[in-house]
Amino acid sequence: MTSNASGSPAPIRPPVERHPRPALLAAAVVVGVLLVQSLLSFASGPSVAGSVYGLLGVLAFGAGVFLLLWLVPPSQTDRMPIVLAKGLLATAGGVVASLIVGALGALLLLPVRGFLAFLGDLPGALGSVLERGPLVMLVVLVQWLLVRDRRA
């Protein structure tokens, strides 16, 4: 146990409380926007196989965003750059989750050729983070601002 200058023990910080509701709400908004975007692109050129695969990718992305926002929630004491960094981290978690689902799908559908094609898509992961990052960061930032202003 550490002590401060007066010799009394330093206060112990309580553990961070993790509530799933804010993370679930943020992930639901992100998934909703991405589904609307997918539906609009589906209307221009329908592809059933691509839409099912795209739907699984969007749901996996939402699950990854939820998991990271639940594990590393933005608190009202965080500064704005930290909140934005947590949003970008959640985006990276969503991309990793969708890559895992893509790898499993490629292994199940076409064990050798599909997985080799998946490996060719790995460099696009950074592009996915950069493409979807602003959306997730905006949702996390708005949610943080609403909570911070409500409690202030």
Query: pLDDT digits over 116-148, tens only?
Result: 666 666 777 888 899 999 999 999 999 999 888
Domain extent, residue 94, equals: 20-151
Look at residue 9 and tell me if it is in a domain. Answer: no
Cα 117 from Cα 9, distance rounded (Å) = 58
Percent of the chain exceeding pLDDT 90 equals 41
Asked if residue 10 is part of any domain, the answer here is no
31 lies in a domain?
yes
pLDDT in the model for residue 113: 65
Reported pTM: 0.79
The structural domain count of the chain equals: 1
CB within 8 Å of 36: residues ≥ 6 apart: none
The two three-digit tokens of residue 46, written as one number: 């329908």
Q: Give a yes or no: residue 58 inside a domain.
A: yes
